[in-house]
Amino acid sequence: MRDAGRVVLVTGGAGGIGAAVAARFHAAGWTVRLTDLEDRALETVATGLSGTEWHAADLRSPAACRDVVAWAVAGAGRLDALVNVAGVWREGPTAETTEADFDVVFDVNVKALYFMSSAAIPHLRETRGLIVNLSSDAGVQGNTGAALYCASKGAVSLFSKALALELAPEGIRVNAVCPGDVASPMLRFQAEQYGGGDPEAYYARLLAGYPQGPGRARFVTPAEVASLIEYLARPEAAPITGATISIDFGYSAGK
Ligand SMILES: NC(=O)c1ccc[n+]([C@@H]2O[C@H](COP(=O)([O-])OP(=O)(O)OC[C@H]3O[C@@H](n4cnc5c(N)ncnc54)[C@H](O)[C@@H]3O)[C@@H](O)[C@H]2O)c1
Q: Domain coordinates of the chain in residue numbers?
A: 7-182+220-247
* pTM score: 0.98
What is the Cα 24 distance to its own chain's centre? 14
> Hey, how many other C-beta atoms are within 10 angstroms of the C-beta on 98?
10
Closest atom of ligand 1 to 86 CA is 24
Q: Is the CB of 36 under 6 A from ligand 1?
A: yes
CA 145-224-108 angle, 5° bins: 45
CATH 3.40.50.720 fits 7-182+220-247, yes or no: yes
3-state secondary structure of 247: strand
Say what percent of the chain tops pLDDT 70: 98
DSSP state of 211: T
- Average pLDDT for 143-165: 98
pLDDT tens for each residue of 22-40: 999 999 999 999 999 999 9
Measured distance CA(160)–CA(175) in Å, rounded = 6
What mean pLDDT is reported for the chain? 97
Quick check: CB of 85 below 6 Å from ligand 1? yes
Q: Dump pLDDT digits (tens) for 235-246.
A: 999 999 999 999
Give, for ligand 1, the residue of 110, 184, 210, 218 to mutate: max count of ligand atoms closer than 8 Å to Cβ.
Answer: 184
pLDDT for residue 3: 55
Catalytic residues: 149
Judged by DSSP in three states, 127 sits in helix
* CA dihedral over 95, 187, 180, 235, signed as positive or negative: positive
List, in sequence order, the alpha helices (H) in the chain.
16-27, 39-46, 62-76, 99-106, 113-127, 147-167, 185-194, 199-207, 222-232
pLDDT per residue as tens digits for the range 61-103: 999 999 999 999 999 999 999 999 999 999 999 999 999 999 9
Cβ atoms of 85 and 109 closer than 8 Å: no
Residue-level pLDDT at 1:
44
pLDDT category at 214 given cuts 50, 70, 90 is confident
pLDDT at 48: 87
